[in-house]
A and B are shown apart, each in its own frame.
Chain A
């Protein structure tokens, strides 16, 4: 019975991930997370206000990404297993959209004690990234873990590992208004390929061009 439950759950998760990460063949990329209706209007889940410090000691807030799309993830520099795989795929995304300044990146370190600004700077240098577009941030531990739950709320509902969202390798796509639009397993190259189709779709939808499609 337990096996059946697991099998059903796994199938449901798989189906959801395929739907979430797959490019929209027709229709729109969905708004993920809880919706509520206020005065007759649907209000979609938004990423809460935040203020962190990046690898250059500059503040990074919601305003940093106003009017832009961004890809977010959670990592730490001493991570021996999952993070290097995710970073490799994040770099693939970064390189594909290197000439699209409308797409930014936000990597949150969950190791607030050891991942200092200097260490994040060295990590960024090692990745060879333009830190105007890809911010590696640190900050208050409770704030970072709190916002992780916000970003990963959709994944958490489906992941078979409660609390494991911050080391599961999920990456998420946020639109120009701070709404969750897609997510996938950042360790899985094929899932990331599909995720990039979602980015293509959203770039075209928000900025009205189809140069990436």
Chain B
């Protein structure tokens, strides 16, 4: 009888400890995911200046009237993706909810799901920025080498 009671107490203790440990790990897990998102944000935010610089170069070329009709549509498409990447980044940043606010009315699982979705979203923005900048840069470089074939 005593052995059974001791077993029950021990089991209850183990379960309570385990539950406490899990609960205390929850904020740390949320924080870690938040920081992973911020790493991507801080990596790509400095690209915004260059993205806009490339977009201005492409815009100037379109406005110059030097492009053939076929080339014009390619340059306009490039400008479209650059502007779309710029919009996506600002939209993401302005809609991102701060972790403290999330904790006011969301469960741990809901917060983790939200942050995982935001991490995927910022990765998508990163890819969009990288590809639009690469194609815009390529166009600008090709135009420069056509204008200055000896360079």
Show the binding face of A for B, using Cβ within 8 Å.
76, 78-82, 110-111, 113-114, 141-142, 145-146, 148-149, 161-168
Contacts and interface: CB of A to CB of B under 8 A. Distances in A.
Contacts of A80: 38, 41, 93, 96, 98
Given A82-B42, A142-B59, A164-B46, 4 more contacts: A79-B93, A80-B93, A164-B49, A167-B45
Given A78-B94, A111-B90, A164-B47, A145 B41 contact: no
A166 B90 contact: no
A165 B53 CA distance: 12
A163 B47 contact: yes
Shortest 5 CB-CB contacts between residues of A and residues of B: A163-B50, A164-B46, A163-B49, A166-B49, A145-B52
- B contact face: mostly helix, strand, loop, or mixed: helix
Nearest to B44: A167
B106 interface: no
Interface of B: 38, 41-42, 45-53, 56, 59, 87, 90, 93-94, 96, 98
A113 B42 contact: no
Contacts of B59: 142
A145 B53 contact: yes
A78 B42 CA distance: 13
A148 B49 CA distance: 9
A142 B59 CA distance: 10
Contacts of B41: 80-81
A174 to B, nearest CB: 19
B52 A142 contact: yes
B46 A110 contact: no
B90 A145 contact: no
A163 B42 contact: no
